[in-house]
Structure 1
């Protein structure tokens, strides 16, 4: 028989406090609820779980007893799960953008090999699904120019990529993300949200823009022989005229030059990591 002082008291009478505590515990320990985050108020939690305030209070008492939640004044509660070794830096994020054929994926792979960090390349993570979706919508699987792709598929493609980035952040994993990011990095509001998201997970963000002259990009694109590049190669002059080769992201960034005759990417990657280590 349990006592009134036991926060688990009367839990076998049809309440869901244990279930709620377990779900919130899992979110805390998996990093979905980050250390220091304020939880919604008791009434808001009760509404979201379709239960009573008393049940929420019992669930919070369980988590407080475990040290995962700290109660503050006026029913305010914050997550307490520092995680990791004392003094261990938070996750690092290197977001690499650049035009097709600029060498952004190669740079990402070089950095991944030097650091052991996870690498998320847009084409690798989303291309099979994108190609199937385009075919189902009556388009070529290699289409990257139509409104069907640009307005329908592309936003979902980037949403999936960024959700995977956030999941790694929640787990405290440093990650390198490679994609063109042209539309995103010219959008100041998107850049602000990215920086805020990384900071909210105690991470450090470094944006990199890989620049490359048109002739070198043409060589890279032709050499890789990807079907998705057929339109670009078949309309090269028109395609290049639409590029902003002086592009600058709307966020602090490091520029890496991958034009023919530039310093090897490995040297530039090592220099970039040295600067990040000093932060």
Structure 2
């Protein structure tokens, strides 16, 4: 059944386009340029854009992100959804901005704004310290320097929460390699499930949880230790649902990092169920088929109040708010030309 969007106001999209006197044809070309720069999967044809402005077609997640970059507005200001707390202030708007010089001082400001999505999840962590560490890695990387002492950043969250997008942003800033569970282990996991008389795309059965998943995460962590032993900071991208729920696992992880003189940051990316569902449907991965078919059952089993045991940070990506800031920072770092 198609989902409703009661807060959607398509007139605002048209009003923002007309405000800067941008013809539909030129809008299409600029959206295509944005899509190419960010890797968005959109066709940006005339009929689709017209449908978005008339309210007959609700824009998908990549279209909405592209519109936000085009008009320098967040999703709430473009009428796609309600505003989250703190989103009332307008984003800087420049009618058809000229390309920026990548060396301009607004780059650190844009990066800091995107990293401001990271907030303390517990009182014994300092988001300012983590943000400074990432900023320092970015600055040293862009000037040819290097960091002393490796860091390990765990980025976790439910499927479709935006954790991989945020991990990629941190990796792009710092130059730290990203070890994603799916890309690192999926081919082996699929074949192992088949060899055990299961289904390749199964991620919900007892067979997967008891026989395969522990090996999957062990491979991920062993790869991380290999990097750390070489002094290479590493970002781990995986749900970490079970691991973050276990105080003993988290304590062992911190102890091992401490013994190797490695700094640790655990980040939980939170998101609302409807946004997670939209992104899961959009990516169309075979491993998500069961989630989509039995969505109500799947969501009922999620503990949306889950937070990692021990020191951790939280990124609020409800309604895609944090990813929107990431897109804005990427635009500034790439020159921001439309």
TM tier, smaller: 0.5 to 0.7
- Of structures 1 and 2, the one with the larger relative CO (CA 8 A, separation 6+) is 2
Q: What is the SS of the residue equivalent to 1:260?
A: helix
Q: Which residue of 2 aligns with 1:163?
A: 222
Relative to the length of structure 1, the TM-score reads 0.63
Relative to the length of structure 2, the TM-score reads 0.52
Where structure 2 has 5 or more consecutive residues not aligned to the other structure, the ranges are 1-145, 330-338
Using the TM superposition, name which of 261-270 and 95-104 deviates more. 261-270
User: How far did residue 269 of structure 1 move?
Assistant: 11
Q: Does 1:230 align with 2:230?
A: no
Query: Structure 1 residues 269, 100: CA separation in 2 closer, same or farther (over 3 Å shift)?
Result: farther
CA distance in 1, matches of 2:243, 2:323: 27
User: How far did residue 264 of structure 1 move?
Assistant: 3.6
User: How far did residue 180 of structure 1 move?
Assistant: 0.6
Q: Which residue of 2 aligns with 1:144?
A: 203
CA distance in 2, matches of 1:162, 1:269: 32
Alignment of 1:28-177 (within 5 A): 89-177=148-236
C-alpha RMSD of matched pairs (Å)? 1.9
User: How far did residue 268 of structure 1 move?
Assistant: 10
CA distance in 2, matches of 1:183, 1:152: 14
User: How far did residue 267 of structure 1 move?
Assistant: 4.8
Q: Which residue of 2 aligns with 1:201?
A: 260
CA distance in 2, matches of 1:209, 1:112: 16
CA deviation profile, 1:173-222 (whole Å, cap 9, x unmatched): 00000111010011001000111111111110000000000000000000
CA distance in 2, matches of 1:143, 1:240: 17
Query: Structure 1 residues 268, 195: CA separation in 2 closer, same or farther (over 3 Å shift)?
Result: farther
User: How far did residue 266 of structure 1 move?
Assistant: 4.8
Where structure 1 has 5 or more consecutive residues not aligned to the other structure, the ranges are 1-86, 271-279
Q: What is the SS of the residue equivalent to 1:189?
A: helix
Q: Which residue of 1 aligns with 2:312?
A: 253
Q: Does 1:189 align with 2:248?
A: yes
CA deviation profile, 1:100-148 (whole Å, cap 9, x unmatched): 1111111111110111001000000000000011111111100011111
CA distance in 1, matches of 2:299, 2:208: 20
Q: What is the SS of the residue equivalent to 2:153?
A: strand
Pick the structure with greater CA Rg: 1
